[in-house]
Amino acid sequence: MRRRHFVGAIPFLTVSPELLSQFLAGQAIPKLDATATDVVGAPVTRFFAAPQFAALRRLSDLVLPSIGGAPGALEAGVPEFLDFLVGQSLLPTKTLYRNGLQTLNLRATAKFAKTFSVLEDTQADAILSPLHQSWTYKEPADPFAVFLRHAKADILTATSNSREWVTAAQKNRGGGGGNGTYWLPAE
Amino acid sequence: MSAPTYDVLIIGSGASGGMTAYNLTQKGLKCLMLDAGPPTDFDHDRVARHVYDLPYRGFGKPGRFPHVTQADEFNANAWADEKENPYTYDPGDPYYWVRVRRQGGKTLLWGRASWRLSDYEFKAKDHDGFGENWPISYSDLAPYYDQCEPLFHVSGRKEGLPQLPDGVFIEDTSTDSLSLTRFIQAAKKRGIPTTKPRRATGALASSVNLLLPAALATGNLTIVPNAVVRRLTVSKTNLINGADYIDRHSKRELHATARVVVVGASCLESTRILLNSGVANSSGVLGHYLFDQFYVKNTVQAIVPEALDGKGATNLMGGSGYIPRCVNLDTKKKDYIRGFSVDFGSGVTPNAKYFPLYGEALQKAIASHRGTGFDATTMGSVLPRFENFVSIDKTTTDAWGIPVLHIKARYTDNEFNMARDAMNMLDELCHDAGFEVLEKHDQMVPPGESIHELGTCRMGDNPKTSVLNKWNQSHDIKNLFVVDGSSFVVGGSQNPTLTILALAMRASDHMVLEMKAGNL
């Protein structure tokens, strides 16, 4: 009972809604500039083993190199982003990538006695031959071909959705792009 | 404390619930609307963002939506969360149940395609002998289509096709691009009709801007968001007297009372509520005859060779169109009944996957093919079968402790054969039009993915074989109405929303008459 009396004595609880809104209106809180997390910090890679990550870097550069000064997959930080994305993914995707990158190295070593990351372009092209097969709706039977199909799509999307790519495209075209209407999480 | 009693309790705020509220409140009935999701306020719910500022660069959080292929990282929060709202199916027969649980329902995100059904659907059994007819004919629903199309500002072009009745359109007088004209002429030579898309227009075409504001303006509608209905409650006189519902946030249980209850919670949610309530199933068919429309996305992906390298005429590319059902009308196919429709479009850039290249060669190919694409997607009629059904899975509950649905649906040879026929027809039309086909296929998306789930609470004249009568009214309980897609008997290949709107308007007109006559 004593506590209830105490609470009732707090003056602001007895202020009318009109007075309260007037009070708040005079207390405009400025909006503070903020910077996105990935602008100031370098990504830390955790998921892929070093040989796998090296193969992913080489594959990313082959799939979408820098062309005519436009950022390519490496400039867009795609290998580092995919290390994060695949690391967050469900087991089938993790397995697909790990096995696929491992196969790149195994096939490169078997054929050229070098890891995939240091192959010449023509040598790498021999390993990437499934990417020269016509696309069909039905996925290929070969898991390595499935991996390359998914990796190609992911590398392209991760590049074109990157800050670097969008900013460069906006500069070149003088217009927008890469924007959308984002639904905030429901209350 | 005594809670108020309303004339009508409406469960759901999408197309069917919204239309019911729109109609009833303007005729003076006091309505309470319970909706399972949060309120929709675009000023607070949505913001402009760069794709690179999203946490996953537009890929979305991995694994969040295993069944909602429509979800991208921009709109992910608009779809119903699959962990909060689970359902089950047999592992060999996956079902993709795509839901929106917020005020406005799926009208917030629908594709706006607005087609009428015809007597090829309403009287399908008369035509091919399969299944059942609707208890109504096209002429019964036509006056309601006439009212719904202007409300949703539907644009289109009148064609005089019996399988795709014309409506009250904002007339589409746009001219077709040269590539579309070639395709349309190729179709015409084979006796295949085409028309312009028929779509609801405007910045937003949803119950939240076209139906609910008018209902609220009457002063006769009370909307309660975040109210998850557990079950309907039955009086001693075997009438529904209200519903038990749960506050979405606090999980506090409450009860609402009304003279009449209208369930419009979306096709399968409505049936789930009825099954969990143990009502309206003297026929034993509640939950059965689940069907939808199968989709074969990008059945053909072609290019228009003259448009390569930006060399085409300025009016060569662009635009879209529709092939209405063109089979099993006057003649009969050997290996399937019913029919399919096709959406086609010109002027997109084919996806990079279609080019067997990478690196600089791929980028050159994409640049060369920019805007040269022609694609077509097939939407096919699925036969309503007793063995495709939903039931309550008592082993699994949602976040509010309510038992979930187990869904069993499988396509059959009728659908597979139809999809193959559609693919072959489109391939031939593309070649006739001088297009180069990059890829064709007849692989359907899993059942449910079209978001056109229908049936499970079907209408009919016979109480032994149907749940609802021809007024969307329960055969068993006269003050219970179910007004959404669950009431469909046959679906055809047309998108169903316009028909759902018309049915809800018609049912609520009947409700008013019955209430005024003292029958409810």
Ranges of each domain in chain B = 5-42+76-516
Q: Which of residues 81-140 of A touch B (CB under 8 A)?
A: 81, 85, 88-90, 93, 128, 131-138
Contact A93 B62 (CB under 8 A): yes
Structure tokens at B264: 């419009």
Q: What is the pLDDT of residue B312?
A: 82
The answer to the question of residue A187 being in a domain is no
Question: For A45-128, where are the alpha helices, taking DSSP H only?
Answer: 50-63, 78-88, 91-112, 121-127
What pLDDT, on the 0 to 100 scale, is given for residue A179? 87
Mean pLDDT of B260-266: 98
CB B389 within 8 A of CB B252: no
Average pLDDT over every residue of B444-453: 97
Cβ pair B441:A137 closer than 8 A: yes
Domain count, chain A: 1
For residues B77, B82, B85, B90, the Cα torsion angle rounded to the nearest 10 degrees is 160
Q: Do B358 and A181 touch (CB under 8 A)?
A: no
- The average pLDDT across B171-178 equals 96
Between CA B382 and CA B292 the distance in angstroms is: 6
Residue with tokens 């202020």: A15
- Specify the DSSP element, H or E, that contains A151: helix A143-160
Q: Does any domain span residue A1?
A: no
Determine contact, residues A87/A47, Cβ cutoff 8 Å. Answer: yes
Which phi-psi region, left, alpha or beta, contains residue A51 (left: φ > 0; alpha: ψ -120 to 50)? alpha
One-letter amino acid at A71 equals: P
CB A80 within 8 A of CB A158: no
Helices marked H in B233-320 — which ranges? Answer: 267-277
Chain A partners of B57 at a C-beta cutoff of 8 Å? 81, 85, 157-158, 161-162
The reported pLDDT for the residue numbered A103 is 98
Give how far A34 is from chain B: nearest CA, Å: 12
| Closest CA of chain B from A184, distance in Å | 5
Contacts of A182 in chain B (CB under 8 A): 46-49, 54, 73-74
Please state, rounded to an integer, the average pLDDT across all residues of chain B: 97
Q: Which positions ≥6 away from A33 have C-beta within 8 Å?
A: none
Q: Which of A131, A178, A183 sits opposite B356 (nearest CB)?
A: A131
Nearest Cα of chain B lies from the Cα of A109 at a distance, in angstroms, of: 22
What's the pLDDT at A187? 79
Provide the shortest C-alpha distance from residue A11 to chain B (in Å): 30
Tokens of B17: 């619930």
CB B74 to CB A187 under 8 A? no
pLDDT tier at B123, thresholds 50, 70, 90: very high
Nearest CA to B262 among B518, B25, B463, B16? B16
Q: What pLDDT does A15 receive? A: 59
Say whether B50 and A179 touch across the interface (CB within 8 A): yes
Which domain range does residue A104 map to?
46-169
The vertex-B57 CA angle with B56 and B59, nearest 5°, equals 65
- At B3, is the pLDDT very low, low, confident or very high (cuts 50, 70, 90)? confident
Helix (H) or strand (E) holding B381: strand B373-381
Inform me whether the C-beta atom of residue A6 falls under 8 Å from chain B C-beta atoms. Answer: no
Mean pLDDT of B468-472: 98
Out of B44, B57, B78, the one facing A161 most closely (by C-beta) is B57
pLDDT in tens, chain A (187 residues): 344 444 444 444 455 667 666 666 667 788 888 888 888 888 999 999 999 999 999 999 999 999 988 999 999 999 999 999 999 999 999 999 999 999 999 999 999 999 999 999 999 999 999 999 999 999 999 999 999 999 999 999 999 999 999 989 888 765 556 889 999 998 7
* Range B81-115 burial, b when 16+ CB lie within 10 A, else e: bbeebebebeeeeebbbbbbbbbbbbbbbbebbbb
Determine the Cα–Cα distance for residues B71 and B79; give it in Å rounded to an integer.
7
Domain membership of residue A74 (yes or no) is yes
CA distance A14 to chain B (A): 27
Kindly state the average pLDDT of the residues B194-203.
97
**Nearest residue on chain A to B80, judged by CA atoms?**
A186
Question: Which of A155-159, A168-172, B95-99, B371-375 has the weakest average pLDDT?
Answer: A168-172
**What's the complex ipTM?**
0.93
A171 has a chain B CB within 8 A of its CB = no
Compute the distance between CA of residue B416 and CA of residue B442 in angstroms, rounded to an integer. Answer: 8
Q: What is the mean pLDDT of residues B444-458?
A: 98
Residues of B with CB under 8 A from a CB of A: 37-38, 44-54, 56-59, 61-63, 73-78, 102, 249, 352-360, 362-363, 438-439, 441, 443
Residues of B in contact with A158 (CB under 8 A): 57, 59
High-pLDDT (> 70) share of chain B, %? 100
pLDDT confidence band for B412 (50 / 70 / 90): very high
CA distance A179 to chain B (A): 4
Q: Please check whether residue B87 is in contact with residue B67, taking contact to mean a CB–CB distance below 8 angstroms.
A: no
Q: CB–CB of A59/A150 below 8 Å?
A: no
**Residue A16 included in any domain:** no
**Percentage of chain B with pLDDT > 90?**
98
pLDDT of residue B483: 98
CATH of domain B5-42+76-516: 3.50.50.60
- d(CA B469, nearest CA chain A) in Å: 38
Q: Which residues pair with B89 in a beta bridge?
A: B407
Distance between the two ends of chain B, CA-based, in angstroms? 26
Residue A26 pLDDT: 65
In a domain, A175, yes or no: no
* Geometric angle at alpha carbon B43, from B228 and B74, rounded to 5°: 75
Cβ distance B52 to A178 less than 8 Å, yes or no, reads: yes
- Residue A122's CB is within 10 A of a number of other CB atoms, namely 7
Paired strand residues for B255: B244
Establish how many alpha carbons lie within 13 A of residue B203's alpha carbon, considering only the half-sphere containing its beta carbon. 3
pLDDT for B224: 98
Cβ–Cβ < 8 Å for B411, B444: yes
Chain A residues touching residue B58 (CB < 8 angstroms): 157, 161
Does B359 contact A62 at a Cβ distance shorter than 8 Å? yes
- Structure-token match 């077509």, residue found: B376
Q: Is the C-alpha dihedral spanning A78, A83, A88, A89 positive or negative? A: positive
